[in-house]
Structure 1
Amino acid sequence: MWLYAARRLLMTIPIAIGVTVICFALIYLAPGNPIQSLLPPAATAQDVADLKHAYGLDKPIPIQYLIWVRHALTGNLGLSIQNNQPVLGEVERALGNTVPIAVISVVLAFAIALALGILAATHVGGILDRIATAIAVLGISVPQFWLGVILVIIFAVELGWLPAEGMGPHGSDEFSFFRWSDAKFAIMPIIALTLLPLGILMRTTRASIAEVLALDFIQTLRAKGLGRGAIVVHAVRNALPQILAMAGLQLGYLLGGSILVETVFSWPGTGFLLNKAILTRDIPLLQGTILVLAMAFVGINLAVDLIQTAVDPRIKRA
């Protein structure tokens, strides 16, 4: 097990290198010039050259890449072009705002999907199976940002029950889920983020449990007189590693894939930060955010793989 974990850690090195190369290349292939947004219209060519030199943008791209990677290894992701603040601090604050709602969304989706998946798998072809499948299809099909807009229209504009945007009346620095005045700001973003992982996890749960229920050992348990509830527990335990793996992937996706949802609700998380960096062409901020999110996704995949190995004795890895 430990040897396998060490091997998996070593495998993340080429993945990390590939992530840095792709991240760096894609940003420089995008149109636009971040320097122009910082200079007045009357700026001279010398002003442009001086500012490029200050940010190291006058060097060849391969040299810029190597310098960036060297600094990134020490935790220095550079300074934001727009506000001249350390990128790492900006990303840490945004990640601290995204992680709670992402975790809550995945846990909520996992709990609901597990219940619906069990009902669907034990009533294949029945009305419960059709209802659960319809919910899963709805979750996968409905765009999250569109759902966010609908929630704002209903609960913020029409009913006035929930605030439409922001992160608490006192801002993100003093936000607490244990205060209703703050927590109500997170309700609609969490609902919008929960729908997609709910649909994916429900389908995974139904398929995995139905597959296990069709195995020979389940028929043996029935022949021995084991009750329906106990059989379902055995099926869930056998299907759980696959479901947990999918839940981990959904968590990684929500950390960086919630750009539109966080923008709709003005939630100052990683998605909102990415959107701001893209719109302002803030290259250091964009590079640093993508790098941190990509490595977080790799880390989550590694953790899920190791957890799956630990909870499923059928998986033997040296």
Structure 2
Amino acid sequence: MRNYIIKRILLLIPIIFIVALIAFFITNLMPGDPVRVILGNMASEAEVARLEAALGFDQPLIVRFFRWLANIMRGNFGESLYLNAPVSQVLAERLRPTFLIAILAEILGITAGVLLGILAAVKHRQILDQFSITVSLLGISIPSFWLALILMYFFSVKLGWFPVSGYEPFNEAGFGTLRYIILPAVTLAFMQAGLIARMTRSAMLDTLKQDYIRTAKSKGLSVYSIVFKHALKNSMLPVITVIGHNFAVLLGGTWIVETIFVIPGTGFMAINAIMRRDIPVIQASIIFVAVIYVILNLLVDLSYAFLNPKIRYQ
């Protein structure tokens, strides 16, 4: 197991290099001049040239790439062109809201999805099964931005239970922060619940047809014991894969929801950076998402050995 973990960690190096290569050249080939965006169209050529030299944009692209790569290997992503602060500091400040929303959404999505999937498998071809399928299809089909607006309209505008938008940090509002993140989390959790319920139902149906389940039934074991102690654990491998992938999607894909609810997370930061052509922030956001995906994929693979003792990594 240790050798396998070391190999996977070493594989991070070429993966991150390729991601960095793509991120750098795509962001630098984006239409629009960040210097012109900063100074405005009325700036003189001398002012533009002076700022380009200060930012290093007057250097050849390949020189800038290797200089930037050397810096990020030391954890230095440069400075934001607009916020006048280190990108790593800006990213760290924006991580907390994103993590809070993603973790709450994943907890809600896993709880609802697994329970719905189990009920659908146990009550196969009955009303609960049809209900689970309907919820799954809705979760997969409904766009997150549309659901966010619907929830905002009913629970914020009409009922006034939650703020329409905004965010207060946990160290200032305490558990009052939940009032700001519950609707974004529910929006994201609805999609997660649909995917997880569908996968759990499919895996449980296959498991409940196995011989050892029939043997457990013939011994007179309770439904609870059969479902939760025997069938569920052996059905979790594909479900864990979906959960790990979904959490990576949540951390890297909260951009639309954060923008709608004006949550100052990494997604809201990335959208603003794209609009402003803040290249260092865009590059750091892309690399952040890639690292999250790779790490979570590793954790998912390692969880297989825990759930199934027959799996051994070399």
| TM-score relative to the length of structure 1 | 0.94
Selected match of 1:294 from 290, 297, 301 = 290
Structure 2 CA distance for partners of 1:311 and 1:217, relative to 1, 3 Å: same
Residue of structure 2 in register with 1:201 after alignment: 196
How many Å separate the matches in 2 of 1:227 and 1:193? 35
CA distance in 2, matches of 1:31, 1:173: 38
* Alpha-carbon spacing, 1:310–1:173, altered in 2? closer, same or farther (3 Å): closer
Whole-Å separation in 2 of the counterparts to 1:144 and 1:116:
20
Match status 1:237 vs 2:260: no
Displacement of 1:122 after TM fit?
A: 1.3
Question: Counterpart of 2:273 in structure 1: which amino acid?
Answer: A
Deviates more, 1:301-310 or 1:191-200: 301-310
Give the unaligned 5+ runs of structure 2. none
Counterpart check, 1:227 vs 2:222: yes
1:113 positional shift? 0.9
Tell me, in whole angstroms, the C-alpha distance in 1 between the residues paired with 2:215 and 2:160: 56
Count of aligned positions: 313
User: What pairs with 1:53-202 in structure 2 (closer than 5 Å)?
Assistant: 53-168=53-168, 172=169, 174-178=171-175, 180=176, 182-202=177-197
Question: C-alpha separation between the residues in 2 aligned to 1:305 and 1:224?
Answer: 34
- Counterpart in the other structure of 1:265: 261
| Residue range with higher mean Cα deviation, 291-300 or 281-290 | 291-300
Sort the Cα spacing of 1:80 and 1:173 in 2 relative to 1 into closer, same or farther, 3 A. farther
What amino acid sits opposite 2:196 in the alignment? L
Question: Which moves more between the two structures, 11-20 or 84-93?
Answer: 11-20
Between the aligned partners of 1:9 and 1:176, the Cα distance in structure 2 is 38
SS at match of 1:164: coil
Is the partner of 1:35 in helix, strand or coil?
Answer: helix
Shift of 1:115: 0.8
Secondary structure in 2 matching 1:298: helix
Q: Tell whether the 8 Å contact from 2:167 to 2:180 is kept in structure 1 after alignment.
A: yes
Contact kept, 8 Å, 1:167 with 1:175, in 2: the verdict is no
Q: CA deviation at 1:312?
A: 1.8
Shift of 1:174: 3.4
Structure 2: which amino acid aligns with 1:113? G
Question: What's the offset of the Cα at 1:226?
Answer: 3.0
CA distance in 1, matches of 2:57, 2:100: 36
Moved over 6 A (4+): none
1:238-259 deviations in whole A, cap 9, x for unaligned? 0123222221111111111011
> What residue is the counterpart of 2:34 in the other structure?
34
Any idea what the Cα deviations from partners look like across 1:81-123, whole Å, max 9, x if unmatched?
1121111111111112110110111011101111111011112
Q: Tell me, yes or no, if the aligned pair for 2:121 and 2:129 is still in contact at 8 Å.
A: yes
Q: Are 2:249 and 1:246 equivalent residues in the alignment?
A: no
Task: Work out the CA distance in 2 between the residues paired with 1:49 and 1:275.
Answer: 27
Q: Is the 8 A contact 1:176 1:183 kept in 2?
A: no
Q: Extract unaligned runs of 5+ from structure 1.
A: none
Deviates more, 1:278-287 or 1:19-28: 19-28
State the Cα distance separating 1:173 from its structure 2 match: 6.9
Tell whether the 8 Å contact from 2:166 to 2:262 is kept in structure 1 after alignment. yes
| Equivalent position SS for 1:7 | helix
User: Which letter does structure 2 place at the counterpart of 1:56?
Assistant: G
Matching residue of 1:305 = 301
Once the two structures are overlaid, the 10-residue window that deviates more, 82-91 or 40-49, is 40-49
Q: Distance between the aligned counterparts of 2:39 and 2:231, measured in 1?
A: 63
Matched, 1:275 2:254: no
Decide whether the 8 Å contact of 1:95 with 1:255 is kept in 2.
no
